[in-house]
């Protein structure tokens, strides 16, 4: 799909997410993932940025949020919104895979409403595990998938294991064998 098609799709998706955020505000959702001041957070597939922006508020100036998306329009929009809201702790990264972040530097990863559309989920999960601290967590939510599809899809595609469920949020942790070996890129 070309840039124009991607931008049109992004605009429709953004409109849908505005409605979603009215029904269940990001602040409400993020209460369940254990964000704390000072945390380093990665919002992978951030889209228009509603979760990244809220996470940046919650981790405060001592924390940092990386909003990652493959679409330039998404990255531009998140930067613009973050700037308007005075969120100096928010950084947007355009990529469809490698983030460029340091190994084991992230406390929490958000993978919301994106897993169903990943072309290479195993590659993305490897990157997530590479940047995730050994005690960090990956939180997944995807309204396009049933609970068992999330469990088998995420757990089956990457070096993570299911840890807990809170409503429609699923936490995965690094598999024990990934804690001692470097991730391939």
pLDDT > 90? residue 3: no
- Averaged over 51-59, what is the pLDDT? 97
Structural fold of domain 3-178? Rossmann fold (3.40.50)
pLDDT > 70? residue 179: no
Q: What is the pLDDT of residue 13?
A: 64
Query: Per-residue b/e over 57-88, b at no fewer than 16 CB within 10 Å?
Result: bbbeeebbbbbbbebebbbebbbebbeeeebe
With cut-offs at 50, 70 and 90, classify the pLDDT of residue 69: very high
What residue segments make up the domains of the chain, in order of their start?
3-178
Pairing between β-strand 132-141 and β-strand 106-112 as defined by DSSP bridges: parallel
Q: What is the pLDDT of residue 181?
A: 37
């Amino acid at each position: 799909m070309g840039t124009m098609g991607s931008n049109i799709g992004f605009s429709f998706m953004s409109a849908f997410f505005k409605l979603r955020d009215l029904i269940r505000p990001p602040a409400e959702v993020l209460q369940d993932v254990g964000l704390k001041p000072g945390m380093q957070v990665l919002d992978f597939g951030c889209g228009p940025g509603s979760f990244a922006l809220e996470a940046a508020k919650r981790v405060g100036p001592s924390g940092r949020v990386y909003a990652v998306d493959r679409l330039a329009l998404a990255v531009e929009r998140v930067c613009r919104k973050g700037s308007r809201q005075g969120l100096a702790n928010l950084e947007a990264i355009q990529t469809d895979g490698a983030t460029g972040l340091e190994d084991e530097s992230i406390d929490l990863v958000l993978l919301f409403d994106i897993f169903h559309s990943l072309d290479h989920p195993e590659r993305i999960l490897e990157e997530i595990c590479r940047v995730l601290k050994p005690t960090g967590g990956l939180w997944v939510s995807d309204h396009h998938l049933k609970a068992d599809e999330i469990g088998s899809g995420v757990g089956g595609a990457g070096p993570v294991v299911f840890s807990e469920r809170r409503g429609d949020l699923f936490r995965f942790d690094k598999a024990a064998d990934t804690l001692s070996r470097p991730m391939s890129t």
